[in-house]
């Protein structure tokens, strides 16, 4: 995501060979923990703390769990800080190690630091900077994965029409990387190519090209000497997809290579409609859950059950979290996704590498603080155990109506429900709530007390606590049906609709013409994409329709919009485009 000039058959018999034998000996005697070594053959090198490798590739990749991506940094185009992240310092890896991560994936884009003609030389300054960053992570006792990243779509994707040049450049790239790192410890892994993709090809052709690159990658690395002879190599499926056809193809490639030191890799960003909130995919529902379970089951059946390790090189949700934009995905639904992914990965024996694009998502790389500590606590908990959840993390109480009892469905996920708390105060079962099977009902009297003065928004937060894992927050929220007003705008600037949200939160927007056909820039579904076609501005009391959405409307044809809110309320609105002008009216 946004996300070496020739081969040699000479095997190193110098210091790199000695280090390789030392690590092999450590592996054989089965030690655990870390040890300090000085990188041999490098003047002025500093001691590097190396994780002691486990007895098998499966054990080694298991020891890498959990993993973290240094996203949008060395893979940024054209330079390390081009996408808004600061230069990497060792303090970053100190933080990652302290937070419980055991490995880091360091995506690297080489294109803008490499000549475009033979011998495709990589700039020495860039290569040295990559080495410097890798060594920082190794010095913290972290396993490290280095790859060829956005090059996949910048020039590798042209393999169908420029086969020989792409293959030659790919080999030259890995020849240079291999030479630079051949004496690095075997806690460094190489990954062939990020999210392999090939322009204007069928899946069958793409599988063939991906196999050709993976094979060339393995050959170049293995022939480069030093620790590369037995280094763990990470091979992606086409598109890093976990569809069975691509897993079968990768499995066949790996069997043909007859190399025990190979690792399969795929990526997973969830069921697409849920991951970006389109086509009504507002909830982590049965469809989303099954999509996740099926993919991990396929990884277990195809690879891990047969002793082939799997590294989930990137995972997360495509549009969550994002502190720069309104949240597309309701928080409780996102937390359910993180919880189940941790469980599915553990049961499938898959090591997971969280994709972190930088400061606006998970870890603030300036302050070294998590942007959302509670979210990270849930992710960290999922590495080792399950947590209970519920059908929702909100109870909406209409201000215009009398308060009545409300029921949520508990999802214990193998845990035992222990009760409800408000801060340090435990609510009283029988008086404040009742439990019947998985049905949790809060009484009208308890909700009246929790709602307080019934101001719009969250009035109180209570916690459902379980026998293990993180608690489940339930936000008692007062609302009334949102009110929209007439508005005018343009296709170039968008349409800002004055909106009184009145404590409610927007879930999605449905858009149709009078004949029932879809209106909008996502033509295959009437439920348009959150933040792509429409976006709430809670602080500014407005709903915005984007230029992308408005320009896709038919001229002069009125579109009927239905805004769906998390309380269950809906509001109908009508929009008409005439040339560059747009008018919106309350239905």
Just list the catalytic residues. Answer: 195, 314
What is the rounded distance in angstroms from the CA atom of residue 499 to the CA atom of residue 502?
A: 9
Q: What is the CA radius of gyration of the chain?
A: 27
In angstroms, the CA 273 to CA 280 distance is 7
Helix 203-222 to helix 244-257 angle (10° resolution) is 30
**How is the beta sheet containing 506-513 ordered, strand by strand?**
487-490, 581-586, 570-578, 559-565, 506-513
Task: Provide the 3-class DSSP secondary structure of residue 157.
Answer: helix
Q: Which residues contact 583 (CB under 8 A, 6 or more apart)?
A: 486, 487, 488, 575, 576
Strand partners, 571: 563
CA pair distance 226, 231, nearest whole angstrom: 9
Nearest to 133 by CA among 365, 367, 371, 322: 365
Instruction: Tokens for 362, please give them.
Output: 């998970």
At residue 265, φ and ψ (nearest 5 deg) are -135, 140
User: Which two three-digit tokens encode residue 534?
Assistant: 């429409």
* Helices and strands of the chain, counted as H and E runs: 14, 30
Residue 461 contacts residue 474 (beta carbons within 8 Å): yes
Three-state secondary structure call for residue 228 = helix
User: What are the Cα distances from residue 77, in Å, to 84, 92, 177?
Assistant: 11, 21, 19
Report d(CA 396, CA 503) in Å as an integer. 9
């Amino acid at each position: 995501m946004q996300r070496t000039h020739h081969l040699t058959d000479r095997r190193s018999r110098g210091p790199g060979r000695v280090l390789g034998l030392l690590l092999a000996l450590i592996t054989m005697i089965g030690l655990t923990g870390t040890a300090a070594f000085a990188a041999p053959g490098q003047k002025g090198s500093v001691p590097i703390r190396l994780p002691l490798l486990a007895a098998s590739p499966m054990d080694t990749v298991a020891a890498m769990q959990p993993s973290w991506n240094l996203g949008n940094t060395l893979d940024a185009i054209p330079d390390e800080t081009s996408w808004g992240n600061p230069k990497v310092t060792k303090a970053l890896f100190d933080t990652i190690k302290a937070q419980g991560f055991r490995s880091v994936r360091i995506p690297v884009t080489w294109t803008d630091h490499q000549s475009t003609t033979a011998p495709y030389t990589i700039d020495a300054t860039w290569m040295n900077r990559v080495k410097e960053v890798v060594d920082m992570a190794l010095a913290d006792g972290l396993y490290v994965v280095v790859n060829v990243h956005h090059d996949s779509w910048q020039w590798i994707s042209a393999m169908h029409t420029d086969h020989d040049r792409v293959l030659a450049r790919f080999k030259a790239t890995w020849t240079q990387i291999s030479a630079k790192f051949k004496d690095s410890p075997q806690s460094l892994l190489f990954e062939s190519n990020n999210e392999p993709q090939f322009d204007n090809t069928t899946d069958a052709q793409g599988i063939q090209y991906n196999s050709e690159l993976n094979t060339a990658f393995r050959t170049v690395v293995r022939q480069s000497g030093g620790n590369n002879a037995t280094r763990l190599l990470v091979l992606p499926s086409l598109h890093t997809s976990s569809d069975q056809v691509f897993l079968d193809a990768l499995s066949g490639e790996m069997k043909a290579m007859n190399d025990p030191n190979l690792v399969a890799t795929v990526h997973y960003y969830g069921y697409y409609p849920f991951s970006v909130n389109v086509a009504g995919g507002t909830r982590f529902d049965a469809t989303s859950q099954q999509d996740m379970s099926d993919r991990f089951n396929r990884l277990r059946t195809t690879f891990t059950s047969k002793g082939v390790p799997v590294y989930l090189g990137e995972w997360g949700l495509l549009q969550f979290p994002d502190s720069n934009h309104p949240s597309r995905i309701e928080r409780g639904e996102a937390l359910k996704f993180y919880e189940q992914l941790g469980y599915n990965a553990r049961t499938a024996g898959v090591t997971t590498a969280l994709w972190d694009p930088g400061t606006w998502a998970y870890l603030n790389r300036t302050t070294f603080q998590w942007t959302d500590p509670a979210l990270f606590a849930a992710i960290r908990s999922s590495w080792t155990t399950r947590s209970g959840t519920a059908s929702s993390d909100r109870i909406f109480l209409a201000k215009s109506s009398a308060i009545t009892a409300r029921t949520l469905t508990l999802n214990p996920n193998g845990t035992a429900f222990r009760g409800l708390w408000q801060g340090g105060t435990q609510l009283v079962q029988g008086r404040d709530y009742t439990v019947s099977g998985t049905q949790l009902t809060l009484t009208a009297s308890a909700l009246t007390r929790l709602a307080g003065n019934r101001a719009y928004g969250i009035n109180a937060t209570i916690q459902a606590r379980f026998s293990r894992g993180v608690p489940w927050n339930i936000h008692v929220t007062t609302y009334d049906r949102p009110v929209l007003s007439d508005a005018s705008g343009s296709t170039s600037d968008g349409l800002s609709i004055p909106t009184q949200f009145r404590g409610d939160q927007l879930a999605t927007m449905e858009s149709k013409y009078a004949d029932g056909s879809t209106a909008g820039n996502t033509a295959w579904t009437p439920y348009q994409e959150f933040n792509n076609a429409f976006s709430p501005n809670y602080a500014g009391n407005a709903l915005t329709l984007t230029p992308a959405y408005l320009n896709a409307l038919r001229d002069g044809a009125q579109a009927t919009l239905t805004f769906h809110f998390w309380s269950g309320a809906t509001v109908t609105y009508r929009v008409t485009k005439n040339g560059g002008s747009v008018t919106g009216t309350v239905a």
